[in-house]
Structure 1
Amino acid sequence: MMEKDDSDAQVAESIAAFRAAMDGKWLFDDRVLAFKKGSEITAVETLPPPKPRDDGPLPETVEARTVTETEPPRPAPAPPRPAEEISLTVGEKKAAHLLWATVKNADLAYIESVRRNETTGLKIEVPGVMVLEVEPKGSYLEISPIDFGKSDIAKKIKSEYEAMSKSL
């Protein structure tokens, strides 16, 4: 948008009127921002206060009463379940002793469940030391190979297992 300059007669008159108004002396008052000395100050008309609305009769006051909350009765606790007895055969207990002796004496052991001929057994491998296949059969434990290996760790595992399984 282009600015207007005083080349237009109407704009020139407006600019001159503005400069004349600014050159005069202005006074400040609390009720008005600024006024020119000698100009008329019109009084501010005050409006009468508004009349209150009449909406009819007021509704009844509601009284709040404190009510204590009653908890519903708790159901009786369920009877404790009888502990399921886990029946372990002597062979399974011996397998547990062999696992304990292996984990206790080896830094690293791989143990996996093996299922053969509808019986579940274990394959125990200690890398670089021994690989055993163990199958609990009733009151005894079938271990193959029976010698556990020739290393010192294998001999220690075997001796500890035999010591623990004697108590069964």
Structure 2
Amino acid sequence: MLMLMDDSGEVQPVKLDPALVTSDNAIIVLDEYGDTCWVFIGRNVSMPTRMHALRIGKSMQKSGYKIGITTIGLASTNLVEMLEKDDSDPDVATSISRFREQISRHWNFEDKFLAIDASLASSAPMGPIAGAPTPKSVVKETPVVTAETVKKETSSLPKVAPISPLNEVERKTAFLLYAAIKNSDLIYVERFSRNRKMGVKIEAPGEMVIEAVQDGPVLKIDPPGFGDSETAAKTKEDFKSWA
């Protein structure tokens, strides 16, 4: 198991310690015992670091992280993203609890950062036993290859299911995103789930921070006025004219 910390966009391995899982830290844990890449984002972590950690977590789920000559967490089956600010959601709270439990074991360490479960350290496979009979050698047979003509069957192309059109609240969300992009030189966008409802957070640094939650057919925007800046006013004006 390997713990990494994202510090303002720079990811470095750290010695696995449950005490590092705090509201101020962005943590990635490559868990080969559970075949899982865990990504924990504290509630006080800035949006750029939060987005970077989530992106790096998705990448490490596939490619792992190299310590010495060993690649840890290569092609993990599971990716669990936990945003502490959403811990009012039962699913998020459960994931955080499972994560804390998974890393709160007694660890031995190799290569300074690689954590080995002490309770499993003695279960490594044993070498050959002295005095045991030598295994009989196996004669490898040469396979006989027979050529066979296979008739290629013509298969029809799979039918592609038509894409369903956007509903009203999805269209409004798209309009809101485009209005923000049109009126800002730089924006950060984050998708979140709150009470099982999808939402997006849009931040134009120093200009505007808004959250929009899809509540049935209604898109609830907070703050309703979008903010006091000129960027916020233009974004609201364009959104209202389109939506």
Q: In the alignment, is residue 97 of structure 1 matched against residue 143 of structure 2?
A: no
Q: In the alignment, is residue 147 of structure 1 matched against residue 225 of structure 2?
A: yes
Decide which of 124, 128, 145 is 2:202's aligned counterpart.
124
Task: Give, as a single letter, the amino acid of the residue that structure 2 aligns with 1:151.
Answer: S
How far apart are 1:109 and its partner, in Å?
A: 0.4
Q: Does the Cα contact within 8 Å between 1:121 and 1:136 map onto a contact in 2? A: yes
Partner of 1:136 in structure 2?
214
CA-based RMSD of the aligned residues comes to 1.9
Decide which of 75, 79, 82 is 2:157's aligned counterpart.
79
Q: Does the Cα contact within 8 Å between 1:90 and 1:138 map onto a contact in 2? A: no
Tell me the distance in 2 between the aligned counterparts of 1:77 and 1:91. Answer: 40
Partner of 1:88 in structure 2?
166
Tell me the distance in 1 between the aligned counterparts of 2:158 and 2:179. Answer: 36
Partner of 2:185 in structure 1?
107
Q: Which has the larger radius of gyration?
A: 1
Query: Cα 1:110–1:121, aligned 2, differ >3 Å: closer, same or farther?
Result: same
Q: Report the 3-state secondary structure (helix = DSSP H, G, I; strand = E; otherwise coil) of the residue aligned with 1:98.
A: helix
Task: Give, as a single letter, the amino acid of the residue that structure 2 aligns with 1:81.
Answer: K
Percent of pairs with identical residues: 38
Q: Report the 3-state secondary structure (helix = DSSP H, G, I; strand = E; otherwise coil) of the residue aligned with 1:77.
A: coil
Q: CA offsets per residue over residues 95-130 of structure 1, 9 Å max, x none?
A: 111001111110110100111101111111111111
Q: Where does the alignment leave 5 or more consecutive residues of structure 2 unmatched?
A: 1-148
How far apart are 1:74 and its partner, in Å?
A: 4.4
Tell me the distance in 2 between the aligned counterparts of 1:113 and 1:131. Answer: 14
Tell me the distance in 1 between the aligned counterparts of 2:152 and 2:214. Answer: 49
Tell me the distance in 1 between the aligned counterparts of 2:155 and 2:182. Answer: 43
Q: Does the Cα contact within 8 Å between 1:89 and 1:138 map onto a contact in 2? A: no
Alignment of 1:19-58 (within 5 A): none
How far apart are 1:73 and its partner, in Å?
A: 5.7
Tell me the distance in 1 between the aligned counterparts of 2:215 and 2:167. Answer: 8
The alignment of Structure 1 onto Structure 2 pairs a total of residues equal to 95
Task: Give, as a single letter, the amino acid of the residue that structure 1 aligns with 2:154.
Answer: A
How far apart are 1:81 and its partner, in Å?
A: 1.5
Q: Report the 3-state secondary structure (helix = DSSP H, G, I; strand = E; otherwise coil) of the residue aligned with 2:154.
A: coil
Partner of 1:156 in structure 2?
234
Tell me the distance in 2 between the aligned counterparts of 1:81 and 1:126. Answer: 42
Runs of 4 or more, structure 1, over 6 Å off, are: none
Q: CA offsets per residue over residues 55-100 of structure 1, 9 Å max, x none?
A: xxxxxxxxxxxxxxxx976432323323243353211110111001
